[in-house]
């Protein structure tokens, strides 16, 4: 009789990078990158671990915000590491520095990259806030001016704004697939999911076993973002304001609540498999058809390398 394997419910998660993957385990986090010479390099990365350092941040709802901050900061650092490692060994064409380059190097040095990254992040955040908070509310007010019946109930307003946000998100992610480098990141995303599934099914971590797994995982960050947008529709029902600036500002203030609820739902979907969790996870799984692509074998090898490096021998990654 064939022995049935025990399904593992693990806390290990990951993130796709440039020519690599970061896996986060309970004890350590590792970035694995395929270098230009074909070799795989591993580098341990230290997350913020806000919840471990401050126990109060482990309270339900609050822990979702703490984890999101941790993921954003650690993910940005991992992305920089992967970019550096992937480019190691590549020959750069010698270019004579301009006067501006020499001035920047003399007065700012290594700080210049940090300054540019900070400014870029601020601009990106401001753009996202404008697009995902102010634009949908402004569009509703514009539409309601033509179709007055829309003003009859807050349900119409919240649903309209939420659907616009989801459409904008879908369009943005779809446009990302056009870029060749982003398409490879989405392939690494698929390799990450397949590798985690392989481990959860108790199979040996090799390319053949990983290749057979599904690439859509309920604990995916994409699912989390979609759930946040859906939860945002429900939160919008409790905001009575119609002014674009006031309503959008209140939504921004309530963002931690939206993040916290979305995180709790993702945790439930990752731990339980039933009809309710499948319904909750369904929108995110559909979205993963865009954000995860079938990986190549060498990408799977990178994911396996990262995964093996973070699996603790004492079973601390198991969710019970």
Which of the four pLDDT bands, split at 50, 70 and 90, describes residue 310?
very high
Could you give the C-alpha distances from 181 to 9, 19, 176, 187, 241, in angstroms and in order? 32, 9, 9, 10, 42
Instruction: Name which of 224, 300, 296, 302 is nearest 262 in CA terms.
Output: 224
pLDDT for res 116: 64
Average pLDDT over residues 35-59: 91
Banded model confidence at residue 1, pLDDT cuts 50, 70, 90: very low
For residues 112 and 101, is the Cβ–Cβ distance under 8 A?
Answer: no
Nearest in space to 66 (alpha carbons), one of 45, 47, 50, 53: 50
**Each residue of 143-181: pLDDT tens digit?**
887 777 666 678 888 999 999 999 999 998 999 889 999
pLDDT tens per residue across span 57-114: 999 999 999 999 999 889 989 998 998 888 876 655 555 666 655 655 655 555 665 6
**Confidence grade of residue 125 (pLDDT, cut at 50, 70, 90):** confident
| Per-residue model confidence (pLDDT) at position 3 | 47
For residue 245, pLDDT beyond 50: yes
Q: Which residue has the higher pLDDT, 27 or 316?
A: 27
Q: How far is CA 102 from CA 88, 118, 119, in A?
A: 23, 21, 21
Between the two ends of the chain, the Cα-to-Cα distance in Å is 28
Torsion angles phi and psi, residue 263, rounded to 5: -65, -45
pLDDT tens digit sequence for 175-202: 988 999 999 999 999 999 999 999 999 9
The distance of Cα 71 from the centroid of its chain, to the nearest Å, equals: 8
Q: Is 42 a residue whose pLDDT tops 80?
A: yes
Neighbours of 278 (CB within 10 A): 13
Domain segments of the chain as ranges: 110-310
For residue 238, pLDDT over 60 is answered with yes
How much is the average pLDDT of 8-26? 92
d(CA 215, CA 294): 7
pLDDT at 5 over 60: no
Mean pLDDT over the full length of the chain: 86
**Average pLDDT of 244-251?**
91
What is the value of pTM for the model shown?
A: 0.85
| SS3 state at 233 | helix
Q: Look at residues 309, 300, 308 and name the one whose alpha carbon lies nearest to residue 20.
A: 300
Confidence check: pLDDT of 262 > 80: yes
Structure tokens at 10: 């693990």
| DSSP labels, 215-226 | S--TT-HHHHHH
Neighbouring C-beta atoms of residue 127, cutoff 10 Å: 10
Task: Calculate what percentage of the chain has a pLDDT beyond 90.
Answer: 54
Q: Which helix (H) or strand (E) holds 44?
A: strand 40-45
Number of CB atoms found within 10 A of residue 193's CB: 26
**Is residue 20 predicted with pLDDT exceeding 90?**
yes
Phi and psi torsions of 319, nearest 5°: -90, 125
Q: 133 or 63: which carries more pLDDT confidence?
A: 63
Reported as a pLDDT band with limits 50, 70 and 90, residue 10 is: confident
Q: At 216, phi and psi to the nearest 5?
A: -105, 115
Whether 258 shows a pLDDT value over 70: the answer reads yes
| Mean pLDDT of all residues in 26-41 | 93
């Amino acid at each position: 009789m064939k022995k049935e394997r025990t399904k593992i419910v693990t806390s290990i998660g990951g993130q796709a990078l440039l020519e690599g993957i970061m896996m986060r385990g309970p004890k350590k986090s590792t970035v694995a990158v395929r270098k230009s010479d074909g070799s795989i390099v591993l580098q341990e990365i230290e997350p913020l671990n806000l919840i471990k350092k401050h126990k109060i941040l482990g309270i339900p709802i609050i822990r979702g915000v703490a984890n999101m901050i941790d993921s954003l900061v650690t993910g940005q650092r991992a992305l920089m590491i992967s970019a550096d490692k992937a480019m190691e060994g590549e020959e750069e064409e010698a270019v004579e520095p301009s006067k501006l380059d020499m001035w920047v190097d003399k007065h700012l040095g290594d700080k210049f990259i940090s300054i540019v990254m900070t400014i870029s992040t601020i601009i990106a955040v401001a753009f996202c806030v404008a697009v995902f908070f102010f634009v949908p509310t402004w569009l509703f007010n514009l539409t309601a001016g033509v179709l007055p019946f829309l003003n009859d109930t807050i349900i119409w307003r919240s649903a309209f704004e939420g659907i616009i946000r989801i459409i904008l998100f879908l369009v943005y992610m779809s446009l990302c697939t056009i870029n060749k480098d982003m398409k490879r990141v989405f392939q690494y995303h698929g390799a990450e999911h397949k590798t985690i599934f392989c481990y959860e099914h108790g199979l040996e971590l090799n390319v053949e076993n990983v290749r057979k797994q599904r690439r859509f995982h309920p604990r995916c960050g994409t699912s989390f973002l979609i759930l946040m947008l859906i939860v945002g529709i429900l939160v919008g029902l409790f905001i009575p304001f119609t002014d674009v600036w006031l309503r959008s500002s209140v939504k921004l203030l309530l963002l931690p609540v939206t993040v916290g609820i979305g995180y709790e739902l993702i945790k439930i979907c990752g731990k339980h498999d039933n009809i309710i969790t499948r319904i909750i996870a369904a929108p995110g799984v559909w979205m993963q058809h865009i954000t995860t692509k079938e990986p190549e074998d060498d990408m799977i090898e990178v994911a396996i390398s990262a995964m093996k490096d973070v699996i603790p021998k004492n079973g601390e990654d198991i969710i019970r």
